Structure 1
Amino acid sequence: MQQNHLLDIATWRNRSAGFRGIPSICSAHPFVIEAAMVRAAKSGSPLLIEATCNQVNQDGGYTGMTPADFHRFVSETAARAGFAMDKVILGGDHLGPNPWKSLPAAEAMDKAEVMIRAYAKAGFTKLHLDTSMGCAGEPVALPDEITAERAARLAAAAEDEIRNTNATRPVYIVGTEVPIPGGAMEELDILEVTKPEAAIKTVEVHAEAFEKAGAGSAFDRVVGAVVQPGVEFGNHNVIAYDPEKSKSLSASLESLPNLVFEAHSTDYQTRAALKALVADGFAILKVGPGLTFALREALYGLDQIAAFLMPESRRATLLAVTEAVMVENPGNWNKYYHGSPAEQHLQRHYSYSDRIRYYWPEARISEAVSALLSVLGEIPIPETMISQHLGALYPGVRAGNIVPTAKGLILGAIDLVLEDYFEACRA
């Protein structure tokens, strides 16, 4: 049985070389996964890839993939990229009743148990237990004790699913101050950092609940707790990390010697801020929308380049297709984007929340992306057009570090974000 890569993550902060933390790549987009594998190979780091409960579950999620399907997808991508699967850590994010929270708690938790069993059986070895949300008839946020009891039930189910197998035993992440999947739903000003005593209490309550559920051995593999360090992003703004405000929270890790903190919604933070987070004990840095935001920037830049170079080659631009599909099917953005029609139009395409990421698997948009890439093929894109439409990539192209083809520029755009995370985690 292989030892879990993350089992000793609490000791990483004492390293003088190597990695003190790890980025968590929360995306199911093939270009994002491929770019992450290329970056991890360059960095000599294991690669943590996480699927959320909304992306991937027993019903298929918005990607249409079950946990077994997602494992297969990552394995096939690794084979094409020449990346060893034994360097990949598969994680499940926000595993709990969230996809079914409109149902009564008993029904939603039954479905959550089926989901986490599927994740465990499929070989996911980092499981974030998120039972903090209320279901039908319950408050929006639940007391720690109920959250912990439900989390322990899910951990016990995951353990039971792999009990008589040689599967690598998973590590667990717990926590009750958990941001919702996908980023904030409103404009943000300031955030309240988790109080140290709240973080300590959360861990203690979970320890008791795991023991009561007969999952005490699983609690020995709880390696992290989700807390709020004061970072988040809304549709138009980003709240930057302020180490001074989280000083006492970071100090509370002295009372939690075998744990690290997991920071969600770190998208759009600067490299300096990310490095400060890792130094302060937030050793797992979740990033998702920030990566698909970079993907969308690259695709839209290429869309403009193709429209200029080959104006008669497509029936419609990618931008026109995505706009039509999102307007016809508003379910993934209309609760998040507010204001006038013009403001909503802006947000559909350029919001930090990047709700457009839910639409990339949609058939018409997928076909439009394929048409764009087919039109541009392997032709070298003129440097001057890269400077105009993909300016952040221009220095890398000039230096010979980014291949000036459509695919090369897409991977290069995503890698600019990934590089910040991997370098921030390096000792």
Structure 2
Amino acid sequence: MKAIVERHVSNGDVGICSVCSAHPWVIEATLRFESSSNNKVLIESTSNQVNQFGGYTGMIPTEFRDFVYDIAKRVGFPIENIILGGDHLGPNCWQSEPAESAMLKSEQLIKAYITAGYSKIHLDTSMSCADDPVPLDPMVVARRAARLAKVSETVASAELKEILTYVIGTEVPTPGGEKEAIQAVHVTEVDAAKLTIETHKQAFEEAGVYSALDRVVGIVVQPAVEFDHSNVIHYKPEKAQQLSDFIESTPFVYEAHSTDYQTKENLRHLVNDHFAILKVGPWLTFAMREAVYALAEIEKELVDASKQSHAKEVINQILMDDKRYWEQYYSHTFSDARVQLSFSLSDRIRYYWTDERIVRSLDVMIDNLNSVDIPLGLLSQYLPVQYSKVLSGELNAKPMDVIFSKVQEVLEQYAYACEPRKAS
């Protein structure tokens, strides 16, 4: 990360895509996408996905690390080119508890991530806990971040410290996505960005973690990009011009969250404006879901009904049986909720892919489609981009290749934005 940030500070046109997904197909698609390059791949897990208690994936940090490395070994991707990051590391998962209780758990969270060898750490202590005022005083946020940095510096090995970096910042979009429709998002004020740097510098010095200050490479701010269930707030470079100018006077870059569904030109503008770390998550699993649903329709045309996976029906039934990950986000009108469950840009289906019944149904679907030849006409009907790639010899008409290709359509947008050679 240090080298990438230094390149950006020197040239202003280099960035990196942060893949924020725990799905094995997304991770494999990402590693395959970069298999012929020598690029570093940044894969991040969030505190609600992966923590010391398992998170919603059921994995602790060492298990997620091994999970990613096992995929890399299987596809022949060099492990030394993988950067593991931890996102929203702080009290996010324990906001309902008193602050001290939440911070003690946050310290254990940091220890677990550092012990697992994660080298990019987003210190996010911006959220109020049960006995906190709303919003938190910026100095309180900074001191809590410094407290976690001190734990990290104590636990990290000498080898890890060679590559360990931190991202700070309080202008963070809601972890997990927006609950309401949004019409506009305000750009972070320059004074707020300055305050983030100043308070964290003071807090780190008070805590005696001077070395951690040297490892800070990025600041999370809001460039006014966001999405909800069906709407995307597009990046407007002119609105972030002052913010872009300010960061040039510092050794840092910006990290932009919720860049999903931006156009490739907007993503490129973000990198040019020093938002050098572009985080993407739901867009990747949304694309994967599109491929799965398309293949399920193809399966219905090619496979006897008694042998079909009925994958879409299985997914829908599980979503209706277990509403915990979507009920507070989607409409209370049943017809609207059914559409949002499948097609919302927030893609809350991503919380359910590990369900054993869904896994089994997808395995059946993949096996069924591997046992038949998918006609070009059917592929054109449901997956026209993949049809064109099969026609030109770039892609095999096999289900997993099609799924990877669909995810890689998104990654291509980020490659265009982050790599000047591809952008030109």
How high is the TM-score relative to the length of structure 1? 0.95
The aligned counterpart of 1:354 is 347
Q: Secondary structure at the match of 1:423?
A: helix
Structure-to-structure mapping, 1:96-115, within 5 angstroms = 96-115=90-109
The answer to whether residue 5 in structure 2 is matched with residue 12 in structure 1 is no
Structure 1 pair 166/116, CA: closer, same or farther in 2 (3 Å)?
A: closer
The aligned counterpart of 2:293 is 300
Contact 2:309–2:364 (Cα < 8 Å) also in 1:
no
The aligned counterpart of 2:207 is 213
Deviation, structure 1 residue 370? 1.1
Structure 1 pair 185/87, CA: closer, same or farther in 2 (3 Å)?
A: same
Q: Secondary structure at the match of 2:248?
A: helix
For residues 108-140 of structure 1, the C-alpha deviation after alignment (integer angstroms, 9 at most, x for no partner) is: 111111011110010000000111011113244
The aligned counterpart of 2:320 is 327
The answer to whether residue 69 in structure 2 is matched with residue 75 in structure 1 is yes
The aligned counterpart of 2:46 is 52
Structure 1 pair 403/15, CA: closer, same or farther in 2 (3 Å)?
A: farther
The answer to whether residue 412 in structure 2 is matched with residue 419 in structure 1 is yes
Structure-to-structure mapping, 1:120-139, within 5 angstroms = 120-139=114-133
Q: Which deviates more from structure 2 when the two are superposed, residues 132-141 or residues 324-333?
A: 132-141
Q: Secondary structure at the match of 1:90?
A: strand
Q: Secondary structure at the match of 2:14?
A: coil
Cα distance in 2 for partners of 1:166, 1:260 equals 22
Structure 1 pair 23/402, CA: closer, same or farther in 2 (3 Å)?
A: same
Structure-to-structure mapping, 1:17-416, within 5 angstroms = 20-163=14-157, 168-256=162-250, 258-314=251-307, 317-377=310-370, 379-416=372-409
Contact 1:156–1:215 (Cα < 8 Å) also in 2:
yes
For residues 137-179 of structure 1, the C-alpha deviation after alignment (integer angstroms, 9 at most, x for no partner) is: 3244322111111111111101111256666441000001111
Unaligned runs of 5+ in 2: none
Deviation, structure 1 residue 225? 0.3
Unaligned runs of 5+ in 1: none
Contact 1:7–1:171 (Cα < 8 Å) also in 2:
no
Deviation, structure 1 residue 368? 1.1
Contact 2:204–2:212 (Cα < 8 Å) also in 1:
yes
Q: Secondary structure at the match of 2:122?
A: strand
Contact 1:90–1:126 (Cα < 8 Å) also in 2:
yes
Structure 1 pair 140/398, CA: closer, same or farther in 2 (3 Å)?
A: farther
Contact 2:38–2:81 (Cα < 8 Å) also in 1:
no
Structure 1 pair 399/182, CA: closer, same or farther in 2 (3 Å)?
A: farther
Deviation, structure 1 residue 214? 1.5
Deviation, structure 1 residue 311? 3.3
Whichever residue aligns with residue 96 of structure 2, its letter is: S
Deviation, structure 1 residue 377? 1.7
Cα distance in 2 for partners of 1:163, 1:107 equals 27
Structure 1 pair 139/306, CA: closer, same or farther in 2 (3 Å)?
A: farther
Q: How many residues align?
A: 420
Cα distance in 2 for partners of 1:115, 1:347 equals 33
Whichever residue aligns with residue 381 of structure 1, its letter is: I
Cα distance in 2 for partners of 1:7, 1:214 equals 26
For residues 176-211 of structure 1, the C-alpha deviation after alignment (integer angstroms, 9 at most, x for no partner) is: 111122322211101100011110110111011111
Contact 1:378–1:405 (Cα < 8 Å) also in 2:
no
Deviation, structure 1 residue 395? 2.1
Structure 1 pair 180/225, CA: closer, same or farther in 2 (3 Å)?
A: same
Q: Which deviates more from structure 2 when the two are superposed, residues 138-147 or residues 297-306?
A: 138-147
Whichever residue aligns with residue 125 of structure 2, its letter is: T
Structure 1 pair 140/386, CA: closer, same or farther in 2 (3 Å)?
A: farther
Q: Secondary structure at the match of 1:266?
A: coil
Report percent identity of matched pairs: 46
For residues 84-111 of structure 1, the C-alpha deviation after alignment (integer angstroms, 9 at most, x for no partner) is: 0000000000001111111111111111
Q: Which deviates more from structure 2 when the two are superposed, residues 393-402 or residues 42-51?
A: 393-402
Deviation, structure 1 residue 12? 1.9
Contact 1:20–1:278 (Cα < 8 Å) also in 2:
yes
Cα distance in 2 for partners of 1:375, 1:217 equals 55
Structure 1 pair 399/219, CA: closer, same or farther in 2 (3 Å)?
A: same
Deviation, structure 1 residue 7? 4.8
Deviation, structure 1 residue 298? 0.2
Contact 1:41–1:83 (Cα < 8 Å) also in 2:
yes
Cα distance in 2 for partners of 1:9, 1:329 equals 42
